[in-house]
Amino acid sequence: MKIVLILATLFVFVSLLLNGARRRGKLDNKANRAVAELATSMRIFVYGLLFFVGLVCLAVAWQSLH
């Protein structure tokens, strides 16, 4: 779980850096598209991670009730 949290933190950090460069206009058109696709994939990863953690919490709660 620590590795997943470290990866998610690194994804967010890299995303912030790349979006900052993108907003300043330092990237060309292909790089802008790549940054946008990377941000989308990071969002999907983080949402999937949140969903997985939610399922684990529900499973633990279910097991503690029974």
Structural domain boundaries in the chain: 2-65
pLDDT at position 39, please? 79
- Whole-number pLDDT of residue 29: 84
pLDDT recorded at residue 59: 95
Give me the pLDDT at residue 63, please.
93
Residue type for position 45: F
- Name the residue with tokens 């330092």: 26
- Residue 11 near residue 45, CB atoms below 8 Å: yes
Backbone angles phi, psi at 27, to 5 degrees: -110, 150
pLDDT digits (tens, 9 = 90+) for 8-62: 788 778 877 877 777 777 778 888 788 788 878 888 888 888 898 899 999 999 9
Strand positions, DSSP E, 4-49: none
The reported pLDDT for the residue numbered 9 is 83
Do the beta carbons of residue 39 and residue 19 sit within 8 Å? yes
Amino acid at 10: L
Residue 64 confidence (pLDDT)? 92
